[in-house]
């Protein structure tokens, strides 16, 4: 068995090659972050080539997030048991190989299966990277910087992804956006084999398959219910899935409380710092998801920017997140954890509040400033909460704890798109339109743009003007709700993280 404990304090603080090992870990983060952004750009091309039905197209977009949400906790716990280096390198290899399957999919069914397999591989990467950081960097100040670099890379990946994806789609076929994963995977595995230290729980207990199934069914069913409700309202399918998911998760929690070596130690949630940081992450993503989900549509379909131009327009958020993430640990030690987290959340909330004033012709300085504030706030908040989560649990449970953090992120995104998406959709669908407007125009702004191509020019112009006005009205209302969520979360974090400090010495 490989112990998670260093031999000496000197070895703990001065582990040779730790920064090169970190470079390997952030490559894995980059792999996931870029992939998460390119599918949206490639969807129109995939749709034209594979000709999926509307339902199949939704599954192509959603199945990855369903599977990854369902397996994060299980894969984090598996890494604690069999070794985080092992599961990371196996997962990265699988991620690269399945990316080839995505690129050369010839039918909608093949594409759906490939996206599901990619979710299985992706679920191994993020928990393993954070857990390895916890076990490589024993000096708290170095660990804070490492977590900041980890978060900054994720932010940079989400910004670079649309730019790289836009370039590839303009010059190659749509499969190229998936093949970009291959060189990253090759470097990660080759260098990782030589530089990453192995670490795992020396007394792990068995990997309980019943818990794995309950977690998988519960998370997939809940996320499906949330997304289905956002798209079609509360249907019988959504209600049934929600009840099934709730029952499975209840069974999962009950089982964890009775097992001598549980898949996830539920006692972690008794630690105020851990539970407060996880809750802050989930609610922050919930409040921000409307901005992330709808801003690209606003920039392209309302303001008429090209995809590459829209990607560049969103860069201030990534720049702010990168800079803030690198400074977050130092600032949190200078002031306090709750001051940095609450301040970051308040900055995001105020930026969202500013977006309630936007119109169709709002100038870029306003949008750019708001995006910069969102990035700075998120960089400070997410970096410090990740550090709190890692430092508040034993090293032996770092994989499971990291998986809880990532699961909170996935749940927050699903809930945010459901709640804020329903607001935007509800406002949008009621816009007045000329007689003869196709029904699809009222489903989405993209549908309105497509419908306009088949209408008389004068009627199309009137319909698009009404549709864009309604979309902006929905966006500003959703931004207001998101701002309220973020400001309330900032206040809650101020109390829940009271007395929480980042460590200063090993």
CA pair distance 345, 328, nearest whole angstrom: 13
**Cα–Cα nearest to 5, from 267, 396, 505:** 396
Determine the length of the chain.
506
Is 501 in a helix, a strand, or coil? coil
Is the per-residue pLDDT at 2 higher than 60? no
Structural domain includes residue 238: no
Does residue 89 or residue 400 have the better pLDDT? 89
Structural domain includes residue 3: no
Phi/psi for 287 (5° steps) reads -70, -30
Check if the beta carbon of residue 101 is closer than 8 Å to that of residue 114. Answer: yes
Structural domain includes residue 5: no
Write out pLDDT tens, residues 246-260: 999 899 888 888 888
- Per DSSP, 302 falls in state I
The pLDDT assigned to 488 comes to 92
Among 205-219, 350-364, 428-442, the least confident range? 428-442
Structural domain includes residue 368: yes
The pLDDT assigned to 11 comes to 42
Is the per-residue pLDDT at 31 higher than 80? no
CA distances from 239 to 65, 86, 265, 420, 448 (A): 20, 39, 29, 19, 30
In percent, the amount of the chain with pLDDT more than 90 equals 10
Q: Highest-confidence range of 2-11, 149-158, 389-398, by mean pLDDT?
A: 149-158
Is 491 in a helix, a strand, or coil? helix
Write out pLDDT tens, residues 107-156: 888 988 998 899 889 888 877 887 788 778 877 778 778 888 887 777 77
Check if the beta carbon of residue 62 is closer than 8 Å to that of residue 417. Answer: no
- Mean pLDDT computed over 224-231: 75
- Per DSSP, 301 falls in state I
Check if the beta carbon of residue 220 is closer than 8 Å to that of residue 69. Answer: yes
Write out pLDDT tens, residues 269-310: 787 888 888 888 888 888 877 666 678 778 878 888 877 787
Structural domain includes residue 166: no
Structural domain includes residue 87: no
CA pair distance 366, 165, nearest whole angstrom: 26
Structural domain includes residue 472: yes
Q: How far apart are the first and last CA of the chain?
A: 23
**Cα–Cα nearest to 313, from 363, 351, 354:** 363
* Residues contacting residue 386 through CB under 8 Å, at least 6 positions apart: 130, 147, 150, 151, 277, 405
Specify the number of domains making up the chain: 1
Could you tell me the two tokens for 74? 């299980």
Give the DSSP letter string of 245-286. HHHHHHHHHHHHHH-SS-SS-GGGGGSHHHHHHHHHHHHHHH
CA pair distance 306, 45, nearest whole angstrom: 16
- Per DSSP, 196 falls in state P
DSSP H helices, 306-363, are 307-313, 315-334, 337-354
Is 383 in a helix, a strand, or coil? helix
Among 90-99, 382-391, 405-414, 452-461, the least confident range? 405-414
Could you tell me the two tokens for 213? 């199934």
Q: Taking the CA atoms of 33, 328, 373 and 426 in sequence, report the sign of the dihedral they define.
A: positive
CA pair distance 54, 414, nearest whole angstrom: 20
Structural domain includes residue 417: yes
Query: Which pTM was predicted?
Result: 0.79
CA pair distance 414, 437, nearest whole angstrom: 31
The domain that holds 372 is classified in CATH as: 1.20.1250.20
Please give the residue range of the domain that contains residue 497: 270-506
CA pair distance 451, 465, nearest whole angstrom: 13
Does residue 58 or residue 429 have the better pLDDT? 429
> Counting Cβ atoms within 10 Å, is residue 335 exposed (0-12), middle (13-18) or buried (19+)?
exposed
């Amino acid at each position: 068995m490989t112990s998670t404990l260093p031999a000496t304090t000197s070895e703990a603080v001065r582990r040779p090659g730790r920064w090169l090992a970190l470079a390997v870990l952030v490559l894995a983060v980059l792999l996931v972050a870029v992939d998460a952004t390119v599918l949206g750009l490639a969807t129109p091309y995939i749709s034209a080539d594979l000709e999926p039905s509307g339902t199949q197209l939704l599954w192509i977009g959603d199945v990855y997030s369903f599977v990854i949400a369902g397996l994060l906790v299980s894969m984090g716990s598996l890494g604690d048991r069999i070794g985080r280096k092992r599961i990371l390198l196996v997962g990265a290899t699988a991620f690269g190989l399945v990316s080839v399957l995505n690129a050369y999919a010839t039918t909608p069914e093949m594409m759906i299966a490939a996206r599901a397999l990619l979710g299985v591989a992706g679920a191994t990467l993020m928990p393993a990277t954070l857990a390895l950081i916890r076990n490589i960097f024993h000096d708290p100040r170095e660990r804070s910087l490492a977590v900041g670099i980890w978060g900054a890379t994720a932010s940079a990946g989400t910004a670079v992804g649309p730019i790289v994806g836009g370039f590839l789609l303009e010059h190659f076929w749509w499969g190229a956006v998936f093949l970009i994963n291959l060189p990253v995977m090759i470097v990660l595995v080759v260098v990782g084999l030589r530089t990453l230290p192995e670490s795992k729980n020396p007394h792990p207990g068995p990997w309980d398959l019943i818990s794995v199934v309950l977690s998988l069914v519960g998370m997939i069913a809940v996320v499906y219910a949330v997304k289905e409700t956002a798209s079609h309202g509360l249907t019988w399918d959504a209600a049934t899935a929600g009840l099934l998911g709730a029952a499975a998760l209840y069974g999962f929690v009950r089982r964890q409380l009775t097992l001598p070596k549980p898949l996830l130690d539920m006692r972690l949630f008794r630690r105020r710092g851990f539970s407060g940081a996880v809750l802050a992450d989930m609610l922050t993503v919930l409040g921000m998801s409307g901005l992330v989900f709808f801003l690209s549509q606003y920039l392209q379909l309302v303001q008429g920017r090209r995809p590459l131009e829209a990607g560049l327009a969103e860069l201030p958020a990534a720049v702010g997140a990168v800079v803030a993430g690198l400074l977050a640990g130092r600032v949190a030690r200078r002031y306090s954890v709750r001051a940095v987290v609450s301040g970051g959340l308040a900055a995001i909330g105020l930026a969202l509040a500013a977006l309630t004033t936007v119109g169709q012709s709002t100038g870029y300085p306003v949008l750019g400033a708001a995006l910069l504030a969102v990035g700075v706030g998120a960089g400070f908040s997410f970096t410090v909460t990740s550090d709190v989560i890692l430092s508040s649990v034993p090293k032996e449970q770092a994989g499971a704890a990291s998986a809880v953090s990532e699961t909170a992120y996935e749940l927050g995104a699903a809930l945010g798109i459901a709640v804020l998406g329903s607001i935007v959709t509800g406002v949008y669908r009621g816009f007045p339109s000329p007689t003869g407007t196709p029904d699809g125009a009222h489903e989405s702004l993209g549908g309105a743009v497509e419908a306009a191509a088949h209408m008389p020019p004068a009627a199309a112009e009137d319909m698009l003007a009404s549709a864009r006005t309604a979309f902006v009205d929905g966006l500003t209302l959703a931004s207001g709700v998101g701002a309220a969520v973020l400001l309330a979360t900032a206040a809650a974090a101020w109390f829940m993280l009271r007395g929480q400090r980042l460590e200063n010495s090993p």
